[in-house]
Structures are given as C-alpha cells and as structure tokens.
C-alpha cells in the first residue's frame, strides 16, 4: 500500500445491525474519497449469517475486512443480562486482539472510527496517537437523546417511565416517558449504567459522525452544538459531522420467492413485520403476533427468528437460526396453512433473503 494514501480503520461491534452500517461507511470512504479502509469486525461465532456476510463482503476487495473473534463471556452473564451489557463485555474482551492487529500494521491508521459500543477502544487510539471518531449510525435526534441522558440522570429521580410529563430534549420533540429507549427503562439494571457510561465516553473522542444531514435535522444539530446543558456534560466542544444519508445498496440478482410474491401484490398493500437483529420475541409473543396478523386479514411479510422465551438478548447471541422448524413450531397450529394466501413467513437467516 502507498503510505501516502490516507488509512482509516473502522471497528464494528458484534452483530449485523452494527456491521452493515460500518461496511456502508467504509465503502463510501473508499469509493468516493480514495481512502484505504480496514474494517475490524468483532464477530459472534454462533451467528453463521454474520460470518457468511463477511466472506461475501471481502470478495469485493474494495476494503480490507479483518474478523476479530469474540471471547467467551458466558461466565460473566446469566439469563437476566441485557444486550447492552453483553455487547460491552464482548467488545472489552476483543480489545487485546484489536490492539495487536493495529500494532502490527506497517501503515498504522491515520484515523480510527468506532461505533457506539466501541468507545472502550479510546485507550488504544491514545496509545498509538491516532485521531479517534465515533460513528453514531442513527440520526441527530437519537444522538441528542443519547448524550442528554447525562443531564436527565442528574436532574430526574426515579424511573423515567413513571414520569407524568414528557421529557424535554433540546432541539427535539418532547419524548413520552414510555417511549424511552430500552436501556432507559430500568435505572436499577446494569444495562442502564453501561449505557450511561457510553454517553460519557463519547466526550473522549475528537468528533462524532452521524447518519443525517443539515437540511433534514437542522434544528436538532444546532441545539446539539449550542445548548448549554449538552455542552456542559460534554465538557469540551465536540464536533459533529452530518455525513448522511448513508444507505445500503441492495443488489437483487434473482427474483426469489419473496420478491416474486411482492411483485404480484398491489402497491403499498403489504405489512412488513421485522424486529431487527436484536428484537427476538418470546414464544408467547410470537403466538400473539401470529394471531394478530391472521385476524387482521391484512397481507404481510413476517421475518421471524427463534423465540427467546422471555430472553431476547441471549437469543440474539446464542441462536444461529439454521433450523427453521425451531421457529415455525412456535406458531399456532395451522397458521401457515390458513395464511398461505395472505402472507409469507420468512426465517431471518434464510440464505435467499436479500433484505
């Protein structure tokens, strides 16, 4: 590699929901700005879809992808450990491997970018004197709430969900108490304190990249840059860089079952049901949702994953979803037959999926 070419390393937290935005950002920088990009992807060995996705992404040769195997944290968690805590532990365990790879590079990164759970890597960046940035993959509204949590934590007693009045967030619409993000639901849980620590660690970086643009969220961006309370918790002015819109380009090479079915439906007539890579339902919730879809008589595409039986966090980390029978056996008896003309039930990790 030409050492005069700018080299940026981007660290992805475990899970497809973190990996995909990092790859989109990396490809954007490599393709449009001629930057050498190295992706350090912390992987979860049990997620076969994640490993397969990395292999296919590496085939394009646009960027270099280095998988970082996650460590076993089973002795540190139990059935009640929430997902934010688990991610924090997984990234923490991967730090020695990340440091070793950066130390061995002939041309060490000119900048290091991490996502929300990668803030613990700040010590590695400082050790090698590398400028460091956080890539906040959501918009300015969510970023402002995230940072403003430090103010809310100081000013509000008790649980946010028990408040009678909406939460006032600078530059944002007021937030109803029962609409707060999951880590804010229970202030006594370790997840809340891990999440709060993440917001504090942002202040240790040289700037924040956010997937939005000025014309879309101008008021919120202005508030983030100038609000006195926000600036007081950041302690130092923290530049934010709206770099959006970043989006994943989907290349459909064949008209698979789902696409063929959708092609036959009326425009804007389909209900799409998916709770993302971390949104597993319990078996009872799956049954209730199935009955709701069937009784609604509305056409649908439902992307399902194995039920968690009340523990969606551990289901996310421990299930590879290869056996579709595990998912379908939790649906009401006869559901697939009765709804075959109404919609499609698709396993999240089905190889044909292009979503």
- The H or E element containing residue 65 is strand 64-69
Residues in Cβ contact with 288 at an 8 Å cutoff, skipping those fewer than 6 apart: none
Average per-residue pLDDT in the chain?
A: 85
pLDDT band at residue 64 under the 50/70/90 scheme: very high
Q: Cβ atoms within 10 A of the Cβ of 196, count?
A: 18
- Is the domain defined by 7-242 classed in CATH 3.40.50.2000? yes
Give start-end residues of each CATH 3.40.50.2000 domain in the chain: 7-242, 257-347
**pLDDT score for 322:** 44
Catalytic residue among 18, 88, 136, 153: 18
Whole-number Å distance between alpha carbons of 22 and 11: 8
Question: Would you say residue 121 has pLDDT above 60?
Answer: yes
First-last CA distance in the chain: 34
Question: Would you say residue 10 has pLDDT above 90?
Answer: yes
Q: Could you tell me if 294 and 342 are in contact, meaning their C-beta atoms sit under 8 angstroms apart?
A: yes
Proportion of the chain in helix, strand, coil states, percent, rounded to 5: 45, 15, 40
Q: Could you tell me if 317 and 44 are in contact, meaning their C-beta atoms sit under 8 angstroms apart?
A: yes
| φ/ψ bin of 199: left (φ > 0), alpha (ψ from -120 to 50), beta (otherwise) | alpha
44 three-state secondary structure: coil
Q: What is the CATH number of domain 257-347?
A: 3.40.50.2000
Whole-number Å distance between alpha carbons of 302 and 300: 6
Whole-number Å distance between alpha carbons of 210 and 134: 9
Of 124 and 348, which is predicted with more confidence? 124
**Scanning the structure block, which residue is given the tokens 């290091």?**
112
Q: Cβ atoms within 10 A of the Cβ of 310, count?
A: 14
pTM given for the model: 0.79
pLDDT tens digits along 155-183? 999 999 999 999 999 999 999 998 999 99
Question: Would you say residue 88 has pLDDT above 80?
Answer: yes
pLDDT tens digits along 261-304? 999 999 889 999 988 766 667 889 989 999 999 999 999 999 88
- Phi then psi for residue 30, to 5 deg, are -70, -45
Whole-number Å distance between alpha carbons of 244 and 140: 11
**pLDDT score for 304:** 85
Question: Would you say residue 46 has pLDDT above 60?
Answer: no
Residue 324 is classified by DSSP as H
Residues in Cβ contact with 136 at an 8 Å cutoff, skipping those fewer than 6 apart: 115, 116, 142, 143, 146, 208, 209, 210, 211
**pLDDT score for 7:** 97
Q: Could you tell me if 163 and 211 are in contact, meaning their C-beta atoms sit under 8 angstroms apart?
A: no
113 three-state secondary structure: strand
Catalytic residue among 7, 115, 153, 313: 115
**Average pLDDT for 1-25:** 86
**pLDDT score for 103:** 97
pLDDT tens digits along 182-224? 999 999 999 999 999 999 999 999 999 999 999 999 999 999 9
Q: Cβ atoms within 10 A of the Cβ of 217, count?
A: 22
- The H or E element containing residue 190 is helix 190-201
Q: Cβ atoms within 10 A of the Cβ of 23, count?
A: 23
**pLDDT score for 202:** 93
The answer to whether residue 18 is catalytic is yes
Of 236 and 226, which is predicted with more confidence? 226
Whole-number Å distance between alpha carbons of 18 and 157: 32
Candidate ranges 145-149, 246-250, 325-329; pick with highest mean pLDDT: 145-149
């Amino acid at each position: 590699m030409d050492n005069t070419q700018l080299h940026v390393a981007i660290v992805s937290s475990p899970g497809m929901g973190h990996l995909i935005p990092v790859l989109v950002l990396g490809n954007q920088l490599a393709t449009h700005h001629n930057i050498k990009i190295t992706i350090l992807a912390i992987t979860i060995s049990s997620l076969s879809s994640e490993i397969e996705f990395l292999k296919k992404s590496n085939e394009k040769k646009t960027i270099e992808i280095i998988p970082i195997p996650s460590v076993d944290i089973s002795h540190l968690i139990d059935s009640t450990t929430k997902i934010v805590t688990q991610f924090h532990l997984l990234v923490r365990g991967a730090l020695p491997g990340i440091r070793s790879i950066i130390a061995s590079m002939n041309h060490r990164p000119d900048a290091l970018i991490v996502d929300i759970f990668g803030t613990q890597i700040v010590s590695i960046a400082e050790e090698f004197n590398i400028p460091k940035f956080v890539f906040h993959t959501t918009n300015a509204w969510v970023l402002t709430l995230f940072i403003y949590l430090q103010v809310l934590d100081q000013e509000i007693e008790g649980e946010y969900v028990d408040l009678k009045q909406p939460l006032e967030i600078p530059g944002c619409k007021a937030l109803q108490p029962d609409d707060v993000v999951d880590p804010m639901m229970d202030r006594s849980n370790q997840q809340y304190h891990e999440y709060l620590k993440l917001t504090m660690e942002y202040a240790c970086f040289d700037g924040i990249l956010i997937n939005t643009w000025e014309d879309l969220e101008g008021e919120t961006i202005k508030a983030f840059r100038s609000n006195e309370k926000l600036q007081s918790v950041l302690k130092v002015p923290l530049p934010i860089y709206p770099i959006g819109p970043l989006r994943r380009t989907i290349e459909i090479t064949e008209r698979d079952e789902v696409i063929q079915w959708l092609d036959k439906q009326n425009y804007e007539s389909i209900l799409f049901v998916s709770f993302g890579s971390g949104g597993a339902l319990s078996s009872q919730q799956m049954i209730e949702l199935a009955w709701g879809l069937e009784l609604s008589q509305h056409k649908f595409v439902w992307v399902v994953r194995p039920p968690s039986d009340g523990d969606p966090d551990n289901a996310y980390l421990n299930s590879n979803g290869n056996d579709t029978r595990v998912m379908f056996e939790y649906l009401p008896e006869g559901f697939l037959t009765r709804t075959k003309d109404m919609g499609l039930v698709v396993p999240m990790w089905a190889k044909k999926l292009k979503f």
